[in-house]
Structure formats: structure tokens, C-alpha cells
């Protein structure tokens, strides 16, 4: 299992363009083999967090290297985000009460 945690703050002047790109990235991710879950959260102070879980390093790498995702990464670096950080955890140790959130299969967007 590989968990990617992406924290960011949007650059407000590019928010509309970002939203279109983010929806497309979610659509692509939801169709990637090995995706377990894709969840996004936003805090009141504007910080955003996405947690993407894949069942293997190979599946996560395929997502990371997807051509449209690579272009979105470039655009994020150049204009979408005022700040961001990325953490990738391979083979994480799980301590849980009940089922962890990623134990549920990812749902396709309608």
C-alpha cells in the first residue's frame, strides 16, 4: 500500500482554472488501476489536504507519471498553489479501531 498526502493552499487568482484541472485529475485517478481511495478535505483557514491510496508502488507510480497528471503538476507548481507539500508513505503501519477509511473501495464519480 502507498499513501500520498498532498497539502496545499490555492493561489486565489487561479482558483477557477484550478477547479477544472482538479476535477479532471480526480476523474483520471478514479480510473487508475490499483486506486484504493481518493479523498480531499479543506480547512477553514484555506489549507487543503488530499489523501490518495494505491494498492502498490507500481500503481502509485503510474498515477504520478500519467501525462495529464504531469501537466497538472507543472501548472500547480507554476500557478495553482501558493504553497504545497507532498508526503508519500510506502507500506505504512496501520493502527486502527474499526475499518480504516481506505478499506472501503473507491467509488467512481457519477
Per-residue pLDDT, 107: 53
3-state secondary structure the chain: CEEEEEEEEECHHHHHHHHHHHHHHHHHHHCCCCEEEEEEEECCCCCEEEEEEECCHHHHHHHHHCHHHHHHHHHHHHHHEEEEEEEEEECCCCCCCCCCHHHCCCCCCC
pTM for this prediction: 0.80
pLDDT computed for residue 103 by the predictor: 59
> Domains of the chain (ranges plus CATH)?
2-93 (3.30.70.100)
Q: What is the pLDDT of residue 91?
A: 80
Low-confidence residues of the chain: pLDDT under 70: 95-96, 100-110
Amino acid at each position: 500500500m502507498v499513501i500520498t498526502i498532498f497539502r496545499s493552499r490555492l493561489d486565489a487568482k487561479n482558483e477557477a482554472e484550478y477547479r477544472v484541472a482538479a476535477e479532471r485529475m480526480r476523474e483520471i485517478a478514479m480510473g487508475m488501476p490499483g486506486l484504493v481511495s481518493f479523498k480531499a478535505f479543506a480547512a477553514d483557514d484555506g489549507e487543503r489536504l488530499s489523501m490518495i491510496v494505491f494498492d502498490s508502488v507500481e500503481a502509485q507510480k503510474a498515477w504520478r507519471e500519467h501525462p495529464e497528471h504531469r501537466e497538472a503538476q507543472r501548472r500547480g507548481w507554476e500557478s495553482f498553489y501558493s504553497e504545497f507539500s507532498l508526503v508519500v508513505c510506502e507500506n505504512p503501519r496501520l493502527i486502527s479501531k474499526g475499518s480504516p477509511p481506505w478499506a472501503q473501495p473507491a467509488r467512481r464519480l457519477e
